[in-house]
Amino acid sequence: MTLPDGAPDAPPPGDRMPAAQRAIEHVKARIADGTFRPGDRLPAERDLAADAGVSRGSLREAVRALTALGVVEVRRGAGVYVTALRPADLLEAFSVLAEVADGATLIEVLQVRRMLEPAATALAAARADDAGLRRLGEILDRIDPAGSEYDTVTADLTFHQAIVAITGNATLAAINDGLSSRTLHARVWRGHREAGRAARLREDHERIHRALLDRDPDAARAAATLHVLEVERWLRADLAAGPDPA
């Protein structure tokens, strides 16, 4: 039975899930079972609301949430469509975490990077081709401890993105981007420069690059682990020191 616009939703007995969440799960289930495929237009609002057993108001709320998640897109005057469901789109909101995290949460982000980044670097060493390694070397040349902070941070971020791109795993690349923060990278480089240790970060990248050139997954994993651990240790010390006195 179609629920009129604005009518209260009637959940099945024992179902305490909010109506909008039920609608979200309904659409996700239809995508998972192949009923709705990437690029498909969703049924008319009235029909989809009836199929999900929710009001049209709750369905609109669900569509807004699914749009924010990158699952669907609203095309003005044309309806609601399933996106291409690319990992980068679906994980885009995840990228906010690394940018806004601070304190203990930022340490947790680095701990997750310490789990994933070495594995990704080892996989890149196993899959690297000459073109990818040449590009990585060109990016490494732009990581200059004495140069522009902006250029160095950009090259640093690009260096790690290029390594993950070599793996050919789009989901891994999207997760890596989500855990990478320009703000944190700039903070790390600035702190190391002020302490006279920026050259050490450059050496970390050179060590990773050599392992990739040798196509040695074990050495690549070890080099990446040491690099992230160095950043994590520095950040712990920086957080413990607190803000500079005014």
Residue type for position 239: L
Same-domain check for residues 223 and 135? yes
The whole-number pLDDT of residue 11 equals 54
- CB distance 87 to 170 below 8 Å: yes
Q: How many domains does the chain have?
A: 2
Query: 4 lies in a domain?
Result: no
- Beta pairing class for 72-75 and 79-82: antiparallel
Residue 59's domain spans which residues? 19-85
If pLDDT is split at 50, 70 and 90, which confidence band does 59 have?
very high
Question: Which of 55, 85, 115 is the endpoint of a domain?
Answer: 85
Same-domain check for residues 119 and 66? no
Kindly report the CATH number assigned to the domain that includes residue 168: 1.20.120.530
Residue 240 phi, psi (nearest 5): -65, -30
240 to each of 57, 70, 155, 233, 237, how far by Cα in Å? Answer: 49, 38, 28, 11, 5
Q: Which residue has the higher pLDDT, 77 or 119?
A: 119
Query: 10 lies in a domain?
Result: no
Query: 6 lies in a domain?
Result: no
The whole-number pLDDT of residue 1 equals 44
If pLDDT is split at 50, 70 and 90, which confidence band does 51 have?
very high
- Residues 71-97: pLDDT tens digits? 999 999 899 999 999 988 888 777 777
Length of the chain: 246
Same-domain check for residues 106 and 159? yes
**Is the pLDDT at 27 greater than 90, yes or no?**
yes
Question: Which of 85, 110, 143 is the endpoint of a domain?
Answer: 85
Distance CA 184, CA 143 (A): 16
pLDDT mean over 189-210:
93
